[in-house]
Structure 1
Amino acid sequence: MINPAMIFRLKSSWEKFTASHPKFPMFLQAAVNNNVLREGTILEINITTPEGQNISTNLKINPEDLELIEDLKNMTR
């Protein structure tokens, strides 16, 4: 069962995050609006530390991922 207090905490954390990084939600919205998050799309994530260390990974979106994306979209409405 989902803890309602945790949902409110996540909502507050997300609001702080988006206030600090306003381009990120716009990027996600553009991905949804342009239908680029579909089966077979490759999502790549790169991280660079202040010291210059890099780490990256990628994943190919599958039908189960699309279900999660749809659930998250519905949750935010």
Structure 2
Amino acid sequence: MNFGGLFQLKNSWAAFTRNHPKFPKFLQAAGAAITPDTIIEIKVTTPTGKKIETNLKVRQSDIELVKNLANSAK
């Protein structure tokens, strides 16, 4: 296991949450509401106004992956 990489990831996440303090709260609220067959939509708007959008339907295996990642980060 690359502990240096994990430490760097932890520091990067801390900086990200300082820059975007509402986002972790959103993830907590959204994460609690996500069940299989939930649709997640993602939209990116560039500074020039170009829009890129997609969506995905959550599967049970997706939920398990996120839980496993969260547990390994503890």
Count matched residues.
Answer: 74
Following the alignment from structure 1 to structure 2, what is the Cα–Cα distance between the partners of residues 59 and 74? Answer: 23
Q: Which has the higher contact order (CA 8 A, sep 6+)?
A: 2
Identity %: 49
Per-residue deviation, residues 5-47 of structure 1 (Å, max 9, x unmatched): 1100110000000100011101001113xx3211000011100
Aligned counterpart, 1:40:
37
TM-score by length of 1: 0.86
- Structure 2 alignment gaps of length 5 or more: none
For structure 1, which runs of at least 5 residues remain unmatched after alignment? none
Question: TM-score, normalised to structure 2's length?
Answer: 0.89
**Could you list the runs of 4 or more consecutive aligned residues of structure 1 that deviate by over 6 angstroms after TM superposition?**
none
